[in-house]
């Protein structure tokens, strides 16, 4: 099977948006064993889009489109592809109803445009937006139309397109994402260079947001054979990198740590300075977290650290707000104030200003207090203010996780 | 002038690399007033690369290539373009010497390949790598070949290619981003459909994260003329959409609201339930925010709402934690507790569970307390837990903003 990817949108051609969809789709198609020889980006222009469609189908049997399924007049992908195949668009009342239900208001004239689907196409329901996806098979050619926003395209591909392509391919693929924390991509590369040369199962590292993820992919005749290949490689990775592995697949750091708290039935409270709520806010994204998280405080000023957490004024004057001592008192203070099982603190210098030679931008302390034992980790983070704050949150979650695992 | 971008490299087609070069080049070409109608990605395959070159030059007069200039046998861009134009490659001793000097060792046979340049081309010296860039003009067509690594391509483009293209173009571009809040993309489309048909200045909407941004772009002979075109369209947009415009260009909602607080010298404190720290955390990303933000609390449980904010138990029992009344008392409570000028509260049902027919998932109240006047906004938000929480934060920032503007 040969495929091409066409991303539709003038915003891509003027450089407003990075074409992350093409990378995502290419990687997934590669993992499915489908060859991609060209990626194309074309604007919201009917003539040029038609030419791109025609060219792509002259070279490939399957073309995956992203974007151009929105409600406005310049969204033309569906209309252009239907017209290229000579297939009419038909109105689907049930899609209009889904859009109405999604928007909590009557479907507008603009949105009604999104309820028209090429005759004979499979409809891919969009649970995260108003544009349904489409799979249209016609005389040996297949057009797969997906909405442009990554948060709609990614799950739609994983949940509906991937199974469809797998069913067509005649073999099965299995994959596992192995999540690492506390090690960089180049060190991972040095430690598993030989394993990365394996073709089946394959192993590839991806670095993002202070984490490295290894993707194991295997191709086989049956699901069992593919899973066995995955398992074997997984064991070899555990031998080399076991200390850094914290989770698998969709279990990111916040999900993993929150699951541990929920499983153990422990309550947690956070006292945040430079992250100013991001740690509690991240935990708050886990459904059901209110069983663990009752309260937390943001204490930017010294006064707030004294008032809410009982940090000693002498500690602040002797060691400063960004210090091992203050972090420890903050963690213990919030645990006691909140009557929680786990108290966690973050205090640091996120920049861009406020650094000194002794306490440079990126110096962050993370404190964890459990049952009267307080531990404090000193971090030296790099990057922008935003990156330092986000990394501090991940390190705090990892500290909580490792303390909880050590407690058992 | 019409241009196309061709990124060469199999690593792009298998999804190992994100094509950031295409976005960078597109943005810069747009700013120069050069139309880009297609971006293409093609692998390190001589036959398919030749076809891509031929197609691009049938549609555009200028083609910018990234990648495929390396020392290995599968780097073919220079060879393919020279062959397409029927121009021989000539060895340049001075380039071999530059490579030797860059590598601090004698130029290998592989690297010598990089010292061959199409006859008659301009050579773009590479100070950050071994592959020189090339500008080749031939019978009205121009090929610009740049190395693939962004740290080599970006400065080479800025330092040498941009001046070359500016000298050729003969006109200038201006643009302005107009940021809207509180209105959806389809409604914006309905209200300015006629303006969106204008070619110069052009107006195009982009929707992202509960916001719509309009991009105005103009092309003219002088900077003044381009700015005048922008200004005229901006005035027309203000007439139609003035109530929804909150900022311009890089000023997003949190930047705009924080700037207003900093300018007025006001302090703020947040009391968050369902967002659990995300509002304070977002404000915390603004450098210098510690002048405004001293403390904030996360009050998930009823007990915490009573303890930290003085919410009346009767209010909670009569109206519930997610109610207009509780939101109002939370906002007033945190303002008084923190001794701040502005108190803001968020309480709501982020889902996926916890909704009832009377209080469905997505129901959120935002309270703002300034100088004893408390206002509460009822919101009906849609989407995932994460989306509802992020939207609640944006609405809270917008409420603070509009209250502060009304206070003057």
Mean pLDDT of A108-122: 93
Cα(A162)–Cα(A158) distance, rounded to whole angstroms? 5
pLDDT level of residue B373 (50, 70, 90 thresholds)? very high
Task: Kindly report each contact of residues A304-308 with a partner whose C-beta sits within 8 Å and lies 24 or more positions away, as own/partner.
Answer: A304/B294, A304/B295, A304/B338, A305/A271, A305/A273, A305/A330, A305/A333, A307/B295, A308/A271, A308/A333, A308/A334, A308/A337, A308/B295, A308/B297
Min Cα distance B303 → chain A (Å) is: 8
pLDDT for B210 equals 80
Residue with tokens 């196409």: A121
B319-343 exposure pattern, b = at least 16 Cβ within 10 A, e = fewer: eebbbebbbbbbbbbbbebbebbbb
| Chain A residues in contact with B25 (beta carbon < 8 A) | 15
pLDDT level of residue A408 (50, 70, 90 thresholds)? low
pLDDT for B43 equals 92
Q: H helices within B278-408, ranges in order?
A: 278-283, 302-309, 313-319, 324-338, 385-407
Tell whether the model's pLDDT for residue A401 goes beyond 90. yes
Cα(A237)–Cα(B365) distance, rounded to whole angstroms? 48
Find which of B300, B308, B384, B393 to mutate to test the A interface (most A CBs within 10 Å of its CB): B300
**Do the chains contact at B284 and A13, CB–CB below 8 Å?**
no
pLDDT for B408 equals 62
Which residue from A minimizes the CA distance to B39? Answer: A41
Tell whether the model's pLDDT for residue B219 goes beyond 90. no
The count of CB pairs under 8 A between chains A and B is: 255
pLDDT for A168 equals 87
pLDDT for A382 equals 84
Kindly report the CA angle at B406 between B405 and B407, in degrees rounded to 5?
A: 90
Cα(B381)–Cα(B199) distance, rounded to whole angstroms? 35
Mean pLDDT of B85-102: 93
pLDDT for B11 equals 84
Min Cα distance A98 → chain B (Å) is: 13
Tell whether the model's pLDDT for residue B380 goes beyond 90. yes
pLDDT for A169 equals 81
pLDDT for B212 equals 92
| Chain A residues in contact with B38 (beta carbon < 8 A) | 13, 40-42, 48, 52
Nearest to B297 among A13, A275, A295 (CB): A295
Tell whether the model's pLDDT for residue A242 goes beyond 80. yes
Nearest to B276 among A20, A39, A283 (CB): A283
Min Cα distance B139 → chain A (Å) is: 25
Nearest 10 degrees: CA dihedral of B236, B239, B244, B245?
50
Neighbours of B109 (CB within 10 A): 7
**Do the chains contact at B14 and A30, CB–CB below 8 Å?**
yes
Cα(B134)–Cα(B22) distance, rounded to whole angstroms? 18
Cα(A309)–Cα(A271) distance, rounded to whole angstroms? 8
Interface check A236 vs B, CB under 8 A: no
pLDDT for B208 equals 77
pLDDT for B102 equals 85
In contact, B342 and B335? CB cutoff 8 Å = yes
Cα(A140)–Cα(A173) distance, rounded to whole angstroms? 23
Nearest to A41 among B38, B204, B270 (CB): B38
| Cis bond before residue B352 (omega within 30° of 0) | yes
Nearest to A304 among B193, B294, B384 (CB): B294
pLDDT tens digit sequence for B120-154: 999 999 988 889 999 999 999 999 999 998 989 99
Interface of B with A in 257-276 (CB under 8 A): 270, 272, 274-276
Interface check A200 vs B, CB under 8 A: no
pLDDT level of residue B359 (50, 70, 90 thresholds)? very high
Q: Strand pairing partners for A216?
A: A176, A203
Mean pLDDT of chain A: 94
Nearest 10 degrees: CA dihedral of B302, B306, B311, B317?
40
Least confident of A351-355, B71-75, B348-352, B359-363: B71-75
Mean pLDDT of B263-288: 97
Q: Is B77 exposed, middle or buried (0-12, 13-18, 19+ CB in 10 A)?
A: buried
Interface check B27 vs A, CB under 8 A: yes
pLDDT level of residue A32 (50, 70, 90 thresholds)? confident
Question: Is this complex's ipTM strictly greater than 0.85?
Answer: no
């Amino acid at each position: 099977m040969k495929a091409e990817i066409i991303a539709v949108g003038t915003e891509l051609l003027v450089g407003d948006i990075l074409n992350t969809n093409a990378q995502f789709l290419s990687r997934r198609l590669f993992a499915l064993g489908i060859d991609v020889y060209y990626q194309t980006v074309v604007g919201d222009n009917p003539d040029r889009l038609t030419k791109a469609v025609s060219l792509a189908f002259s070279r490939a049997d399957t073309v995956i489109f992203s974007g151009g399924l929105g409600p406005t007049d310049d969204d033309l992908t569906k209309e252009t592809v239907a017209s290229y195949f000579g297939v009419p668009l038909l109105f689907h009342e049930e899609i209009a109803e889904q859009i109405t239900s999604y928007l909590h208001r009557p479907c507008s004239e603009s949105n009604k445009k999104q309820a028209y689907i090429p005759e004979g196409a499979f409809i891919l329901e969009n649970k995260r937006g108003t544009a349904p996806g489409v799979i249209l098979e016609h005389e040996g050619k297949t057009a797969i139309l997906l909405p442009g926003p990554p948060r709609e395209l990614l799950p739609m591909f994983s949940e509906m397109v991937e199974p469809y392509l797998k069913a067509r391919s005649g073999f099965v693929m299995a994959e596992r994402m192995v999540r690492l924390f506390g090690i960089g991509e180049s060190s991972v590369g040095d430690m598993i260079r030989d394993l990365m040369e394996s073709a089946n199962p394959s192993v590839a590292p991806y670095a993002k947001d202070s984490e490295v993820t290894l993707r194991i992919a295997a191709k086989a005749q049956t699901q069992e054979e593919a899973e066995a290949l995955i398992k074997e490689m997984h064991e070899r990775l555990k031998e080399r990198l076991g200390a850094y592995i914290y989770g698998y697949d969709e279990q990111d750091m916040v999900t993993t740590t929150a699951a541990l708290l929920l499983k153990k039935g422990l309550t947690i409270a956070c006292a945040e300075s430079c992250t100013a709520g991001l740690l509690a806010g991240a935990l708050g994204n886990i459904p059901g977290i209110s069983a663990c998280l009752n309260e937390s405080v943001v204490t930017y000023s010294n006064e707030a650290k004294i008032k809410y957490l009982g940090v000693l004024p002498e500690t602040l004057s002797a060691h400063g707000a960004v210090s091992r001592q203050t972090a420890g008192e903050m963690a213990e203070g919030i645990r006691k104030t909140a009557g929680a099982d786990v108290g966690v603190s973050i205090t640091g210098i996120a920049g861009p200003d406020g650094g000194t030679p002794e306490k440079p931008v990126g110096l962050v302390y993370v404190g964890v207090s459990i049952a009267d034992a307080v531990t404090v980790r000193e971090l030296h983070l790099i990057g922008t203010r935003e990156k330092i704050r986000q990394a501090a949150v991940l390190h705090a979650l990892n500290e909580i996780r490792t303390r909880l695992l050590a407690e058992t």
